[in-house]
Chain A
Amino acid sequence: MKLDDLVPPRSSPYNFAFLDEGAKREIRRALLKAVAIPGHQVPFASPELPIARGWGTGGLQVTMSLIGPQDVLKIIDQGCDGSVNAVNLRKLLVATTGVRTTYDSREATLLQSRHRLPEIPMQEGQIAVLQVPLPEPLRLVEPSEVETRRMHADGDYARMWVSLYEDVVQNGAISLASGYPCRVNDSYIMSPSPIPRWDIRRLNQSRQLTLLGAGREKRVYAVPPYTSVQPLEFEDMPFTVEDFSGMSCVRCGSTDTFLDEIYDEATGTSFRACSDTGYCDLVRSGQVASPAERDSGRVPAEAAGE
């Protein structure tokens, strides 16, 4: 008798969405716990993937554990579907699932992103999956994992606030840029992943479920729909977002989106364009008539019918 005889054969070398069902179940269990305790980091045994650690394995594992044949997938990096890493992750997921993909965020049931949320507010039933390099917001003041766990457990956030106070004393304002620490559900302090300040408001009382995965650090956490997410601020120094006043996107003309600064070699000058290229394309092609329509949450008939 051979060992092979004892083991039932597999029909294909890889399971649907690459991870085996056991691994998917473990991740889903961790995600359920995360959703039940908004902002709390839940550990999980993040398995190795063919993608390098630090390159989105956490987000990928969350997506892999949730995705089904009926899902419509959008993957972006820095807001762009064509960014090298987004392309690579999309390749892997499509190769192992065959699901339909889209560049229109309104069509996506699963939206995996590195460092941005889409300009069009997401709706109920959609899931945003954010890739997280460093899940621990208190790492700013404390290197030890054991100690930061205790700080969360005790709600002992004084040192975090003190560092913000010192920041203002030193610099006149809070110097934290992206990945700004937020209080979730009036309870845990969470890192929203390195999204710009611009995108924090898309988490507060959002209609979508947001899941955040850190593969290398082996943690997942979640912001359920209609949950409060408040950036840490002093009452008398309100939180502000990036300032793009006086600028507009050269491609679609938008004046109310997060804009990338791009250097044009030909002319030697820099210009601005929407970081969210999918949205930019929709505006250019007339599929989103106005910011009001964008923010209303209505999905135009053509997009819904496809």
Chain B
Amino acid sequence: MSSDVLLQARGIGKRYGAGCEACAELTGPQAGVNRCPRCGTVHALCDVSFDLHEGEILGIVGESGSGKSTLVQCLYFDVDASEGELRLRGEADGENLFDLPRSRKRRVRGRLMGMVYQNPLRGLRMDITSGANVAEKLLEADVFNFRRIRDRAAELLASTEIPAGYLDAFPRSLSGGMQQRIQIAKALANNPPLVLLDEVTSGLDVSVQARVLDLIRELQRERGMSMIVVSHDMGVIRLLADRTLVLKNGRVVERGLTDQILEDPQHPYSQLLVHSTL
């Protein structure tokens, strides 16, 4: 791994089913399907590789069925990849993180990754306070000092522009935009070098979207962490991402600087996406 590459992904694949010899030919962007008509195996992801550099924001764009959410779930160990290698600089002596036992994976992601889900129900526990949600991340990283936890949670919520009084409020009584901010605060709790954002603004009102996106951009500028931003919306990608991967039916069809893809998309599918952008 070259010195400024934070994360290296090679040949990541995720399939549901055993697979057969015909799968490669009968599924993918050319065929336009994820599901093999012969054996019924669904290929959510196939042979996805990329490098993520320090301080970089990588965009992943595609429509439903493209595999973009599956990719991020594999990176966050929510889902077990069927194959592939994942390496984080400085971790596990350069071993493939997918091979680590479950308990070690949990520790890696607790310390080094933050995740924001599209649906706050997935990323937050509604039965505990906002502060407790952030605290959970700190406790996973063995911060066992009550005052420190409390102060840090308050600080993080403040940095995501959540009013101070909401530290002990329950997320379910707050708006969608607020819930996403709590998720962001939680994701940043341990100053991770990598933050994953999966369709974080897709469920929100347009004006709220804009503010959350601004917040994300600002936080990244201040703190310099690497990010992977998943969206079906080219507008979001344009706003945030330095480089972009375009996924279709589980595979990468185009990659490059975001500006270049927007100005001069090569693959027909990228062209379709770009030209459909409002």
Contact = CB atoms under 8 A, between A and B. Distances in A.
- Assess A/B contact in the complex (Cβ within 8 A): yes
Interface of A: 153-156, 158-159, 161-162, 165-166, 168-169, 233-237
A119 B149 CA distance: 37
A161 B139 contact: yes
A162 B102 contact: no
B139 A158 contact: yes
Given A161-B135, A169-B129, 5 more contacts: A154-B102, A154-B103, A159-B136, A165-B135, A235-B144
Given A158-B139, A158-B140, A165 B149 contact: yes
Nearest to A161: B139
A166 B128 contact: yes
B136 A156 contact: no
B146 A236 contact: yes
Q: Which 5 pairs, one residue from A and one from B, show the smallest C-beta to C-beta distance?
A: A234-B146, A161-B139, A154-B103, A235-B145, A158-B140
Interface in B20-42: none
A203 to B, nearest CB: 20
B137 to A, nearest CB: 8
B189 to A, nearest CB: 12
Contact of B146 (A153, A156, A159, A165): A165
Contacts of A236: 145-148
Nearest to B102: A154
Chain A at the B interface: mostly helix, strand, loop or mixed? helix
Contacts of B102: 153-154
B168 interface: yes
Contacts of B147: 236
Given A156-B103, A162-B136, A169 B145 contact: no
Contact of A168 (B103, B139, B146): B146
Interface in B123-138: 128-129, 131-132, 135-136
B128 A237 contact: no
A164 to B, nearest CB: 9
Contacts of A154: 102-103, 106
Given A154-B106, A155-B103, A165 B139 contact: yes
Contacts of B150: 169
Q: How large is the interface on B (under 10, 10 to 19, 20 to 34, 35 or more residues)?
A: 10 to 19
Given A154-B102, A154-B106, A169-B168, A162 B145 contact: no
A162 B139 contact: yes
Contact of A156 (B106, B128, B129, B148): B106
Contacts of B131: 165, 169
Contacts of A169: 129, 131-132, 150, 168
Interface string B142-168: 001111111000000000000000001
Contact of B132 (A153, A162, A235): A162
Interface string B58-76: 0000000000000000000
A233 B144 CA distance: 8
Contact of B145 (A153, A158, A159, A234): A234
Contacts of A156: 103, 106
Interface string B216-230: 000000000000000
Contact of A162 (B103, B135, B168): B135
A161 B133 CA distance: 11
A7 to B, nearest CB: 50
A235 B150 CA distance: 13
A153 B104 CA distance: 11
B153 to A, nearest CB: 9
B168 to A, nearest CB: 6
A221 B149 CA distance: 33
A162 B128 contact: yes
Among A154, A161, A236, the one with the most B-chain Cβ atoms within 10 Å of its Cβ is: A161
A235 B106 CA distance: 23
Contacts of B149: 165, 234
Q: Which of B103, B145, B146, B148 has the most CB of A within 10 A?
A: B146
A237 B149 CA distance: 12
